[in-house]
Structure 1
């Protein structure tokens, strides 16, 4: 793995043999995507134009909220996950930035310096290939490979939020969403001590209701004996939609493959995507190329509250 730049100076990770990890901020224009956007999101030129106008009118009255209201791409990032229902998108914007205004939570500030260890330790990974439905695949180590003395759970989730923030800027991901694979192999009592109810409540509130991205599935693998204790903490915070999207596979990779095509998965998950060892330091180098984006996003929102 090595960081490189294409002819337009866009950064990507070269995996060799023509394979790469790259972010794509270009609007989709292929017929399949346009048809899917129309069918699933009600997206059309007329709907987009009308929704942007209506949303700007609502935002004018919120004088305490600092966001770029004249930036179409910024507003569409919130309109797409709400299928262009303007009032719902407006509530999403307000809810997200009110959560961001809370002190000491994972969305209050994004910097590569604050999250680099989580990626260097490879507890959060982005797979290079999308799945059969065009969804991004994010992988999390929440078991034996997670040293919580190096990466507290709060920093793991902060790193995940930073990654998902970048992915939420990709139009194709706004359309297709993403799936998560969480590996709980050999979960221990030291890990369980990381999951405080208050933090879990805020984390699930953000993921289910306040983050502008379509999370289409959460796949739990290698759920160990202690997983039931962990899930008892979590399930009280699960809403109806996410309850239906959590899939438990144990060590049965064939079950996982019913959700995600093995062609998009590495060999360690029974997949056929032959990849080199994941180098977290190189992924940090990729993230560092987007610190300017993070700084811009950090500047938006409400004033901090206690």
Structure 2
């Protein structure tokens, strides 16, 4: 029998961790106790306007191994950060970002991968910096897609896979890679309540090396373990994301992406998204 590679061992451990969390939910009484404890903690937090329904509590409890105290502290940390960096966080409906959505920079695929994860595609080269676009508005569009995904029970349990497509990456985008922007971007990444996020970088170029040198110091070692570089080696990508759900440009079986249809996820959940964006610390 061949020896298991380090990546295969890590994947097996991650799958066991996700299964352990899923099994934890079989104990309904224990889960309900965790929900009630977290709700009580949040009710006692002064000036925090937030949802208190079971569904919202589970979003954070699933993420943090059903530890109410840890979930409470993380929620406080997330919303304090939002209050401090309002320009980085979305507070408008999808209709306000049609110009960016029509550039086909970001989108969540219609189908989940074989592990039940949502797949988020980010095409860096589609950013048209000649238009009224900046890093804040792009971050807002990420909020739209990812908040919609984080509300889904299956995604909360299984996580997210991100395809970062570097085709056409422009040197002009370097101006956004300031230390402050990188710190805020990485902080937002750590605040995403997915049990696991894997990044798959494709269509790389020599220019990417300079970007990596700037970005890597701001990333946690655990995040780095979940970044995979494939360039244009589609069989390599398919070891993680099955080709049945991918478009042909990534060696998949779908001819092309119907972006207008994919955006229905945002427009159909616009009211729910606005409720999520309205939450946070308020002044009295």
Alignment match, 1:67? 50
Tell me what 1:247 maps to. 228
User: What is the alpha-carbon distance in structure 1 between the residues aligned to residue 87 and residue 103 of structure 2?
Assistant: 21
DSSP-derived class of the 1:271 partner: coil
C-alpha contact (below 8 Å) 1:106/1:161 kept by paired residues: no
Secondary structure at the aligned position of 2:87 is classed as coil
Task: Show the counterpart of 1:57.
Answer: 40
- RMSD between superposed Cα atoms in Å: 2.1
Partner of 2:238: 257
Does the alignment pair 1:291 with 2:274?
no
Deviation at 1:235, TM superposition (A): 0.7
Deviation of the 1:111 alpha carbon = 2.1
Q: Indicate conservation of the 8 Å contact 2:148/2:265, yes or no.
A: no
More helix by share: 2
Q: What is the Cα deviation at residue 238 of structure 1?
A: 0.7
Matched, 1:183 2:165: yes
Deviation at 1:192? 1.8
Partner residue, 1:27: none
Give yes or no for the alignment of 1:216 onto 2:197: yes
Which whole-Å CA distance do the structure 1 matches of 2:268 and 2:21 have between them? 33
How far off is 1:269 after superposition? Answer: 0.2
Residue number in structure 2 paired with 1:9: none
- The runs of 5 or more residues in structure 2 that have no matched partner are 1-15
Residue of structure 2 equivalent to 1:198: 180
Aligned length: 265
Question: Aligned to 2:71, which of 89, 99, 104?
Answer: 89
Secondary structure of 1:101 counterpart: helix
1:117 to 85, 88, 99: 99
Q: CA deviation at 1:276?
A: 4.3
SS at match of 2:107: strand
8 Å contact from structure 1 (residues 220, 247) kept in 2: yes
Q: CA deviation at 1:133?
A: 0.3
Q: Do the aligned residues in 2 keep the contact of 1:142 with 1:183 (CA within 8 Å)?
A: yes
Residue in 2 that maps onto 1:228: 209
- Asked if 2 retains the 8 angstrom alpha-carbon contact of 1:96 and 1:211, the reply is no
TM-score by length of 2: 0.86
Distance 2:71 2:165 in 1: 32
Cα distance change on mapping 1:80 and 1:135 into 2, 3 Å:
same
